[in-house]
Amino acid sequence: MTETPWPRVRTGGELELAGREWLHTNGAGAYAMSTLGFMHTRRQHGLLVAALSPPIGRHVMLSHADVTVEARGRVHRLASHRFPGTAPMPGYRFLEAFAQDPIPRWTYRLDRTPFEQTLCFAPGRNAIVLGFAWGGRGPAKLSVRPLMSGRPVGSLVSGRPARMEAIAVGRGSVEVQPVRALPPLLFGHDGLFLGAPDWWRRLEYSEEQKRGVDAEENLWTPGVFERSLEPGETVRLVVAVDALPTESAEELEEEASANLRWADPGGTRSGSVRALSVAASSYCVDSGKRPGIIAGYPDRAVCTRELLMALPGLYLVRGQDEAARRLVSSLLDHVDGLRFETGIHEGGGSDLGGSDVPLWFLEAARHLVARLGPRDDFVKSRVYPAAQRVFESVVVPVGRGDLWLDEAGLLVCSGSTWMGPGNERRRSGLAIEHQALWSKGCETIADLAYAYQHAELALDAERNCRKVRETFIDAFWCNETSYPFDAISETRGGGDAWADSSVRPNALLALAVDPDLFDEDRARTVLDRAQKDLLTPRGLRTLSRSDPRYVGKRTSDALDPGAYADSGAAWPFLLGAYVRASLNFRKDEPKLRSKLKRAVERAIDDWPVLGQVGQAADGSSPHRAALGPSHALAVAELLRTLVWDLGL
């Protein structure tokens, strides 16, 4: 890892290097994202993807801002679109380097003359500032042509839909409203606007082609902004939804830079910790009306399970205690009994469900208590009562809900798990990691109940914790594989009894969450098997490579992501469990911490989005990135592991 938190790439005009992706966010759900050469490859790419109902309601309001620079009789077009059956437009050949230091910055070489472009969000607002700086000895002419789609982030504009295509020109501003149902887009400038409405047709997105879905889009332009550029001068164009900011473009840029630098913990920390800390800020939605965690860019919104799993790494490790309180408080405001929201969906609204989410809440509560202490007013007034409700709903259920205890005191869960859709039937029963979440959650509740002098609840929680730990090994240990069952049926002794002996990483999750479930010999056996069958340079596989159902490579992006995720993809976030389990049961191994540090830092590097960590990779070499290109949970867990577990 480089000893700076900001990603830098020298592209040298190479198409492959210009195809790397970058990401910049506003802290309220909006983002800008594309390739370094501005050649969009995904339908979710755009320069201003606004969150119209923060943190959701995301629409691609400004897709491109095509730049042309004319100097000394030469015209340099920097656009790099791809159209069917032709080579990409060659604007990427002028691109020398990209740096996010801290705002995204592109350096071009135009006939040996430097030209620089920057982009930044106004923090918390659907507004960006585009900057252009000319390094020539004489003047140049700058032209910027906005290309607009005005559509939900997951759709495409095809044909020529019915549009208003309204343009209102004012002094220093232009207001454009191409779609009646959406707010207008305003441009603040100090140059000349030449209205010339037109359509750019059949722009092609290569990642959509790989998925086997519609991959072409038509974009509308209202005209061109022109401005002379003097040597050493920086010109700025502000683009905003609904209304232009009252601050100057320079002030907005300074505010954005200061916010981003604040996310860097500084030179006393390792380069990997600094880089992950900066990356972590991309997912935290703290400035909107409703706090949240964006699960991943560019196509995921807020997932409650992943929010709870990522909370320690994104907030507590970084010392963001007050923001963590607001986040959890908002989450608890939307709980109906035991039923947490599954998340905040992009189309608006949310469902109540996610049967294992209450268990992950207990795990998040454990970390909050460890960080804030039982005497913290928020822990006492909000976290403890919510944890108590979860406990009582499981131990004394009113009817049969999503979570209940079997006769042995083990936890039964009726729905999906973190491994995603498609595994409900296979794991609808007693999943191994759920036992650890339950036993450790009971321990947390007992500790809090004793602290608050609720002796009866404390004793009841202790009994439930002890019951799981006493029966766990007999129920879950598989002698044939010398590894725990991944899931078992509720009625092991009946005619419908079943057990899944797949070698999967959930045993490691259980071992990391509650080491007291395992004796030392079995714990070491689990670690040895996981290292042999599951560990990769990118993370841990979800299925042993020796299993006949193992899928080592996602040969087609059309392959169902849920099925692929469950069949051997390597997930970086699982390295956190591997590290914690190793530190608990391999303390005598020489240079253990340095080995684990290298494993984590190796998993951080070289993902599609610069400075970010992807959701998963192929389980087989060369471990090509797969599924989501940037993942909050991966960033959170690797950061937590480096700081809390490895002490970096």
Burial (0-12, 13-18, 19+ Cβ within 10 Å), 639: buried
Burial (0-12, 13-18, 19+ Cβ within 10 Å), 363: buried
| Rounded Cα gap, residues 119 and 253, in angstroms | 9
Higher pLDDT, 37 or 334: 37
Range from 127-131, 495-499, 621-625 that averages highest in pLDDT: 127-131
Residue 621: partners with Cβ closer than 8 Å, 6 or more residues away = none
Neighbours of 274 (CB within 10 A): 22
* 413 Cα distance to chain centroid: 26
Q: What is the pLDDT confidence band of residue 629, given thresholds at 50, 70 and 90?
A: very high
Class of domain 10-261: mainly beta
Three-class secondary structure assignment of 225-246: EEEEECCCCEEEEEEEECCCCC
Q: Helix crossing, 357-372 with 432-451: angle to 10°?
A: 40
- What SS3 state is found at 395? helix
**Which of 133-142, 555-564, 596-605 is predicted with the least confidence, judged by mean pLDDT?**
555-564
Question: What residues pair up with 105 in beta bridges, in sequence order?
Answer: 99, 118
Q: What is the pLDDT confidence band of residue 4, given thresholds at 50, 70 and 90?
A: confident
Tokens 């480096």 appear where?
A: 642
Mind giving me the DSSP string for 306-356?
Answer: HHHHHHIIIIITTT-HHHHHHHHHHHHTT-BTTB-B-EE-TTS---B--TT
**Omega prior to 622 cis, within 30 of 0:** yes
Residue 160: its pLDDT value, please? 63
Q: What mean pLDDT comes out for the span 415-431?
A: 68
The upper half-sphere exposure of residue 85, i.e. CA atoms within 13 Å in the direction of its Cβ, equals 1
Whole-number Cα distances in Å, 494 to 210, 497, 634: 46, 5, 40
| Rounded Cα gap, residues 623 and 407, in angstroms | 43
- What SS3 state is found at 548? coil
pLDDT > 60? residue 351: no
Q: Return the amino acid letter for 36.
A: L
* 37 Cα distance to chain centroid: 23
pLDDT > 80? residue 562: no
Instruction: Tally helices (H) and strands (E) across the chain.
Output: 18, 37
The terminus-to-terminus CA distance of the chain in angstroms comes to: 14
**Which of 420-434, 455-469, 503-517 is predicted with the least confidence, judged by mean pLDDT?**
420-434
Q: What is the pLDDT confidence band of residue 421, given thresholds at 50, 70 and 90?
A: low
Instruction: Name the residue ranges covered by the structural domains of the chain.
Output: 10-261, 263-645
Query: Is residue 227 within 8 Å of 192, Cβ to Cβ?
Result: yes
Nearest 5 degrees, angle CA 281-CA 284-CA 287?
A: 110
Query: Is residue 255 within 8 Å of 243, Cβ to Cβ?
Result: no
Share of residues in the chain with pLDDT > 70 (%): 93
Nearest 5 degrees, angle CA 571-CA 569-CA 474?
A: 80
Long-range contacts of 462-465 (CB under 8 A, 24+ apart): 464/391, 464/395, 464/405, 464/409, 464/438, 464/439, 465/439, 465/440
pLDDT > 70? residue 557: no
185-210 pLDDT, tens digit per residue, is 999 999 999 999 999 999 999 999 98
Q: What is the pLDDT confidence band of residue 530, given thresholds at 50, 70 and 90?
A: very high
Higher pLDDT, 424 or 438: 438
Burial (0-12, 13-18, 19+ Cβ within 10 Å), 566: buried
Q: What is the pLDDT confidence band of residue 109, given thresholds at 50, 70 and 90?
A: very high
Share of residues in the chain with pLDDT > 90 (%): 81
Name the token pair of 122.
């106004």
pLDDT > 90? residue 466: yes
Residue 519: partners with Cβ closer than 8 Å, 6 or more residues away = 473
Q: What mean pLDDT comes out for the span 229-235?
A: 94
pLDDT > 80? residue 318: yes
Residue 398: its pLDDT value, please? 60
| Rounded Cα gap, residues 627 and 552, in angstroms | 14
111-126 pLDDT, tens digit per residue, is 999 999 999 999 999 9
**Omega prior to 572 cis, within 30 of 0:** no
Q: What is the pLDDT confidence band of residue 1, given thresholds at 50, 70 and 90?
A: very low
**Which of 50-64, 165-179, 463-477 is predicted with the least confidence, judged by mean pLDDT?**
165-179
Question: Mean pLDDT, the chain, as a whole number?
Answer: 92
363-376 pLDDT, tens digit per residue, is 999 999 999 999 99
Name the token pair of 301.
């919104």
Q: Return the amino acid letter for 415.
A: G
Q: What is the pLDDT confidence band of residue 166, given thresholds at 50, 70 and 90?
A: confident
Name the token pair of 401.
């809900």
Residue 212: its pLDDT value, please? 87
Name the token pair of 482.
């010398």
Residue 353: its pLDDT value, please? 58
Q: Return the amino acid letter for 201.
A: R
pLDDT > 60? residue 628: yes
CATH assignment of 263-645, given 3.30.540.10, 1.20.1730.10, 1.50.10.10, 3.90.550.10?
1.50.10.10
Question: What residues pair up with 536 in beta bridges, in sequence order?
Answer: 539
Q: What mean pLDDT comes out for the span 271-284?
A: 96
What is the dihedral angle through the alpha carbons of 353, 355, 356, 357, rounded to the nearest 10 degrees?
A: 20
The residue among 270, 269, 272 whose CA lies nearest residue 600 is 272
